[in-house]
A and B are shown apart, each in its own frame.
Chain A
Amino acid sequence: MSKIILYTTDCQNCKVLETKLNEKNIEYTTCRDRELMADKGFRSAPMLEVDDTTYTFYDAVQLLKGM
């Protein structure tokens, strides 16, 4: 089973991704640590981490469409 982390700032875009994950009944943890996000080099939120792969908001939505 994949380890999924949603990096969120609770912005509108983050909420949409959260909704989509919930609609698909996908288990995930959330991270709101902005320092950690900055350390990871993120320039925007939300980001979705699936195992070792990071997806931007748009890419995460595309990923979920196929699930």
Chain B
Amino acid sequence: MTKLISDITKRFNHYNLDIDLKLDKDFVRAFKKMKRKYGEKFERMNGFHNENLNFTDFIDNFVDENNKTADVSIDANANSSSSDIRTLFSDMMKPHTKLLSYNKIFYELKKKYDLKTARQWLELEWNGSLYLHDAASSTFMPYCYAYTLKNLAEKGLYFIDKFKALPAKHLSSFNDHVLETISWLSNRSSGACGLPDYLIYSYYFWKKDIDNNFYTKDPIYYRDQCFQKFIYDLNQPYLRVSECAFTNISIMDKNYLVELFGGKQFPDGSFMIDSIDEILDYQKAFMEQVSKIRSEKLMTFPVLTYSLLYQNDKFVDEEFAKWCCKHNMQWNDSNFYMGDDVTSLSNCCRLISDTSKLDAFINSIGGTALSVGSIKVNTINLRRIALESGMDKVKYLEILKEKQDICVKTLDVIRGIIQRNVDKGLLPNYTYDLIEMDKQYNTVGITAVYEVIKDFGLIEVDDFGNHFYKQEGLDFAGEILDQINKQKDSYDFDYSINVECIPAERANAVLCKKDHELYQDKVEEFIYSNQWIPLMEQCTIQEKIKLGALLDKKCGGGQISHINIQSQMTNFDQAWELLNTIAKSGVIYFAYNTKISVCENEHGFMGDICPNCGQPVIDTYQRIVGYLVPSSSYSKERKLEFDNRKWFLLE
């Protein structure tokens, strides 16, 4: 009643300013039609309700102490958990920039294809058949990229107008340049900033300092101090305006290092191939510092991925693989990428960068490159199609084909818009060749495969409550993915498209909510799964591995299998055997997920009482999707999903 009176008082005390917002007339008509057809709930879910668009309402909601950033923002993630003035200032703009982006996409679809296509896209996006990621910045900047630091090491901050710092001479100044570059790049892209060769160049500058007697105390102390400062700096929430930049660092085995860097030279002309063994040791030293810091201050970044070559049923660089396996036992904090050739590398968010598919990379044997990424991700809600198909497989595949066509055309016009932004000089990250657009995919996302298979009655549960795909279910999942791949390869564009089973930190809650609104009781879930079997469903580890082995390879853009384990493994032989079993089964990309406890002093530990200070656990860190974040920062739906996750107990 009090709130009602307050709202009425507000209404009488406030007038609206007439502010012009010029939008395409067909877009405005279609937009209004969507508002009428789908109602207020969909307006809110899309971030287009007056409460979202009206700055004063947004501010009221944001400062309401009962709301979390993850629940108020239209584009939140657990990485952006603070609710200070900086986050408010950034997030209040998002509904408006999203509206402008939609208008632009609609206009370009109409121009390049036709009005019908534009209208179809808006409706699919509005009603939750499609989900455009980072929609609020979708026509402004690209998504993600794995950057090489070669130019930075050789030319310094050559891309900063009016203050171009010369190349670094020491490790400390190189690290500062890297941080400044990450910030500059992350503010001109919406996704991850992969740094696959950071440790290569970091090694070079460290070695140079040591050779020149430029260090504090001793070489090892100096190296570790630089690592520590760099890691702490990466986790400061300012690199991307009000949040941490999403950074990813690769830890590569000898084979990857040789293939990717063997033909390259350091800034002083020396060959990288001559330092491979030293770089391997340097990577290990970095990881030791990462582990040490976690005990002192549990952090999220960088996301770490071991890239290990696996051929003929064994790790080619077995010694290094064993080291990775052992090291990971402490925190289970790294992803494992186990490719059977070196043309694929996971170094950019969860994107598997299969460089062999990009025209720009097809060259001689062993020819490959680091620079690869994605312009934008547009996800198809596969569950919605099941609901629309009446559980008719033929009809399902027909609807899928139509929706994928709209999805691909949308990505196509977004790419064109980004290209024009580059042409107008708005994206200097391209102008200065830090990103090359011909090395970026357009990414078709997919989600809710499990829910589709379940809808078709093709999931079975054994006497112990474990969930399995029936053979027919596995075949149908394969058929869906095969069709998506075949169709994406059928377009005659001068760039590549890839398919990713998306992490969907927010998307899977929104899409599920929209499906529930339209299909009510047919949708019992509150969130969709980003795994072949939801983390909330009980299943055997064997089934999880089997599905990963069979379906992962149909997602060239990536799918990570999370294996939730109750506690850390303490027996190396057991850990090594499990790693080999997973690799042998054909799983390409996976991570163990364990609850890491934190006390009030932010120390990381396993268990209930902090061994450092004796304080009890107050929060836990684990992967929400791809990176470690505290469960206290999860959105309502993610929190509920997390509370219901099943954990494997390894004996």
Contacts and interface: CB of A to CB of B under 8 A. Distances in A.
Given A16-B262, A57-B258, A58-B254, A9 B365 contact: yes
A38 B374 CA distance: 33
B262 to A, nearest CB: 4
A34 B363 CA distance: 13
Given A58-B258, A58-B276, A12 B365 contact: no
A57 B273 contact: yes
B263 interface: yes
A23 B34 CA distance: 71
Contacts of B367: 9, 11-12
Interface in B266-311: 271, 273-274, 276, 311
Contacts of A57: 258, 262, 273
Contacts of A10: 364
Contact of A13 (B258, B311, B341): B258
A14 B262 CA distance: 9
A30 interface: no
B164 interface: no
Contact of B364 (A19, A20, A45, A56): A45
Nearest to A65: B274
B638 to A, nearest CB: 43
Contacts of B478: none
B263 A15 contact: yes
Given A16-B262, A44-B259, A57-B273, A11 B254 contact: no
B264 interface: yes
Contact of A58 (B262, B264, B342, B364): B262
Nearest to B311: A43
A44 B365 contact: yes
Interface in B335-354: 341-342
A37 to B, nearest CB: 8
Interface residues of chain A: helix, strand, loop or mixed (majority): helix
Contacts of A31: none
Interface string A22-64: 0000000000001001000011110000000000111001000
Interface in B351-375: 363-367
A10 B410 CA distance: 40
A11 B274 contact: no
Nearest to A7: B365
A16 B263 contact: yes
B273 A11 contact: no
A43 B264 CA distance: 20
Interface string B235-274: 0000000000000000000100011001110000001011
A23 B341 CA distance: 31
Contact of B264 (A12, A37, A42, A45): A12
Contacts of A34: 365
Given A16-B263, A57-B262, A58-B276, A11 B365 contact: yes
A52 B367 CA distance: 26
A5 B258 CA distance: 20
A23 B371 CA distance: 31
Contacts of A42: 365
Given A16-B271, A57-B262, A11 B364 contact: yes
A61 B264 CA distance: 14
A1 B341 CA distance: 36
Interface in B302-322: 311
Given A11-B365, A11-B366, A45-B365, A61 B273 contact: yes
Contacts of A43: 311, 341, 365
Contacts of B254: 58
Nearest to B254: A58
A38 B273 CA distance: 24
Nearest to B262: A13
A47 B259 CA distance: 13
Interface in B162-211: none
Contact of B366 (A19, A45, A65): A45
Which residue among B259, B274, B365 has the maximum number of chain A CB atoms within 10 Å of its CB? B365
Interface in B565-597: none
A57 to B, nearest CB: 6
B271 A13 contact: no
Contacts of A16: 262-263, 271, 273
B263 A11 contact: yes
A23 B573 CA distance: 45
A42 to B, nearest CB: 8
A7 B276 CA distance: 22
A13 B259 CA distance: 8
Interface string B29-65: 0000000000000000000000000000000000000
A16 B367 CA distance: 14
A56 B257 CA distance: 13
A26 B645 CA distance: 62
Contacts of A58: 254, 258, 262, 273, 276
A10 to B, nearest CB: 7
Nearest to A47: B365
Nearest to B276: A58
B197 to A, nearest CB: 14
Contacts of A56: 258
A45 B276 CA distance: 17
**Nearest 3 pairs between A and B by C-beta?**
A12-B263, A9-B364, A13-B263
Interface of A: 9-16, 19-20, 34, 37, 42-45, 56-58, 61, 65
19 contacts: A9-B364, A9-B367, A11-B364, A11-B365, A11-B366, A13-B366, A14-B263, A14-B364, A15-B263, A16-B271, A19-B271, A20-B271, A42-B365, A44-B365, A45-B365, A57-B262, A58-B258, A58-B276, A61-B273
Given A9-B366, A16-B271, A57-B262, 19 more contacts: A9-B364, A9-B365, A11-B365, A11-B367, A12-B262, A12-B264, A13-B258, A13-B259, A15-B263, A16-B262, A16-B263, A20-B271, A42-B365, A43-B341, A43-B365, A44-B365, A45-B364, A45-B365, A56-B258
